[in-house]
Amino acid sequence: MTLPKVVAVVPVYNHELAVPAVAAALRAHGLPVILVDDGSDEPGRRALALLAQDGAVRLVQRPVNGGKGAAVIAGLRAAQELGFTHALQVDADGQHDLADVPHFLDASRREPNAIICGRPLFDSSIPLVRYCSRYITHVLVWLQTLSFSAVRDSMCGFRLYPVRPVLDVVDQDGVGTRMDFDIELLVKLVWRGHELCWIDTRVSYPTNGVSHYRLLSDNLRVAGMHARLILGMLWRAPILLWRRTRRAVRTRTANAP
């Protein structure tokens, strides 16, 4: 079996204070890094250019901010062009516990066709409104996938993808390019029958963290996405239910004495 060739992809928008430590932690795990500058201001551009002087850190520059999804997609395309088969998506603000990177890499070696997803374990730093809103999203994603277990968390941006299947979804089905990206991508991967594997990982919100979530426009965008996904689920419901039934039969058979 050919081992996955993995690169870290980090979308960056004005996170010049946090991203150097993120890049250093990824490099400490032996990973090459693609930083995607999503139209950062001048201080951010300077910080990223300095980091890119390391030959193991490549910089992809987007002149205009297009959103997290657009930046991740640009990073995945760059990863594919450079010959990488897999990409570890990590946020630039330092909220992910990068000590867990080896667990993601090990899981991908065992299941190279699977999407390895972080299931966040939050500490007390998470804002209450974000904690509650996640559960609203969980319920909607359960409905969109007709499963309580297929997607255990759709919002965590700590994931390891096989690059080609994700770009197939992007190019053939379309996904949101801003804060709707993480959610919509996982739902559409489930619709295509891809396996999602889950790793518990600690997540904290830095006290000096910078959030680019725009309360009105992003909430409207996410609401519209959920409406489209529910409509998309309706005509896919027969095959989603058939897959779930087949999986349950296989599980019972495997557990039979």
The CATH number of the structural domain formed by 6-255 is: 3.90.550.10
pLDDT of amino acid 246: 75
Does the pLDDT at position 2 exceed 70?
A: no
What six digits make up the tokens of 95? 């909220």
What is the rounded average pLDDT of the residues 12-40? 95
Q: Are 145 and 237 in contact (CB under 8 A)?
A: no
Does the pLDDT at position 91 exceed 80?
A: yes
What is the rounded average pLDDT of the residues 131-139? 84
Does the pLDDT at position 96 exceed 80?
A: yes
User: Which residue type sits at 216?
Assistant: L
Q: Are 153 and 130 in contact (CB under 8 A)?
A: no
| 39-45-47 Cα angle (round to 5) | 140
Does the pLDDT at position 220 exceed 80?
A: yes
Residues 6+ positions from 204 with CB-CB distance below 8 Å: 95, 97, 122, 123, 125, 126
Residues 6+ positions from 239 with CB-CB distance below 8 Å: none
Average model confidence (pLDDT) across the chain:
89
Does the pLDDT at position 255 exceed 60?
A: no
What is the rounded average pLDDT of the residues 55-77? 94
Instruction: Say what the pTM is.
Output: 0.90
User: What is the distance between the alpha carbons of residues 53 and 90, in angstroms, rounded to a whole number?
Assistant: 20
**What does the domain layout of the chain look like in residue ranges?**
6-255
Of 11, 10, 37, residue with least CA distance to 24: 10
Does the pLDDT at position 170 exceed 60?
A: yes
Tens-place pLDDT, residues 173-189: 999 999 899 999 999 99
DSSP string, 221-255: HHHHHHHHHHHHHHHHHHHHHHHHHHHHHHHHHHH
What is the rounded average pLDDT of the residues 159-171? 97
3-state SS record for 20-77? HHHHHHHHHCCCCEEEEEECCCHHHHHHHHHHCCCCCEEEEEECCCCCHHHHHHHHHH
What is the rounded average pLDDT of the residues 76-95? 96
pLDDT of amino acid 211: 59
User: What is the distance between the alpha carbons of residues 86 and 3, in angstroms, rounded to a whole number?
Assistant: 10
Confidence band (pLDDT; 50, 70, 90) for 251? very low
